[in-house]
Structure 1
């Protein structure tokens, strides 16, 4: 893959993550200010389709643009203030989650792309992401860690659905590459 092609794909996925922020967020009153968004689907897709390093680069580009003030997070949020709010752990975890998704996906057998995609998305896009998000939520809101973990539990069904969607999209992208 050429440098130009890599840069284009990284930019495309940063834009995809931004576009997923246009899907209306769902705010749950007891979730400590952490909304349900479609953007974690973009994190999973970046790792599955771009791989660990290009996927993480796309996420970092997106986060840099958000830090500069672009209101690209779900709900039109942006600026440095979002890195001091209840979602900070999730935001910090996004590039790492993308790396884990990509590495796990690469390590899985290609013969079962849906299983590989779901497994990688759950391990990276849910478990790894929650490992950052829960402590961040607890720290910012001064919520006990166990309570923060329980609160975040409400996101699990939607995140599992996103893992299946990401796996199906990645399988179709892989098929398209083979046919091209």
Structure 2
């Protein structure tokens, strides 16, 4: 195999992985959202897809999967939970959480690639990947989503922050699921995380 054909195969593999995980994130939007009424942001399963994309594909490819979903949804495809899509989502109270998916996947991937997956003990790898998913998939996304919701909906920042706490238990479960999936997959496919 020549160097060019190896590069082409690697590029094709990367493109396929990015597309598959973008499709996974979009498919998780088929699960109906749960609206709490405390703040105008529903509970969705799509953040699990964002966490898993970053943890499995690494920072760049995981982030690109999230970028594809965000761009397609802003172009009007109804791929967000509840069949939402279009620019109205961006200017709505959930827009910050949506934009937060991009750095959320990036940060999750960075922490997993350069720290979490390198832990020598299997138990510590699970804990470390859970921490990576919490930092990228909760802290980073909330850091953008909470102030965005406050500004767009006119809620005080404190109210928006307190309201977002209702998402934390579910998001912690998503982080644990991400760790179980990522550590298991990386054990079998060591070259996946690049």
Which interval holds the TM-score relative to the shorter structure? over 0.9
Distance 2:103 2:189 in 1: 26
CA contact (8 A) 2:28 2:49 kept: yes
- Bigger shift: 104-113 or 117-126? 104-113
Cα deviation code 1:79-137 (max 9, x no counterpart): 11100100011111111011110111122233332112101001110011110010010
Aligned to 1:12: 20
SS where residue 120 of structure 1 aligns?
helix
1:3 paired residue among 11, 20, 43: 11
2:89 matches 1:82: yes
Question: Is the deviation greater in 105-114 or in 117-126?
Answer: 105-114
Deviation of 1:68 (Å): 1.4
1:2 alignment partner, SS class: helix
Superposition misfits of 4+ residues, deviation over 3 angstroms = none
Q: 1:49, CA displacement in angstroms?
A: 0.3
Structure 2 CA distance, aligned partners of 1:73 and 1:9? 20
How far is 1:177 from its partner? 1.1
- TM-score, normalised to structure 1, is 0.95
Indicate the residue corresponding to 1:96 in structure 2: 103
**Structure 1 position 58, deviation (Å):** 0.7
User: What residue ranges of structure 1 are gaps of 5+ in the alignment?
Assistant: none
State the number of aligned residues: 179
- Residue 139 (structure 2) pairs with residue 131 (structure 1): no
* 1:67 CA drift (Å): 1.3
CA distance in 1, matches of 2:80, 2:22: 12
Q: Deviations over 1:57-88 (max 9, x none)?
A: 11111111111111000000011110010001
**70, 73, 77: which one aligns with 1:66:** 73
Could you tell me how far 1:19 is from its partner in structure 2?
0.7
In structure 2, the partner of 1:167 is 179
TM-score of the aligned structures, taking structure 2 as reference length: 0.88
SS at match of 1:86: coil
Structure ID, larger Rg: 2
**Which residue number corresponds to residue 56 of structure 2?**
49
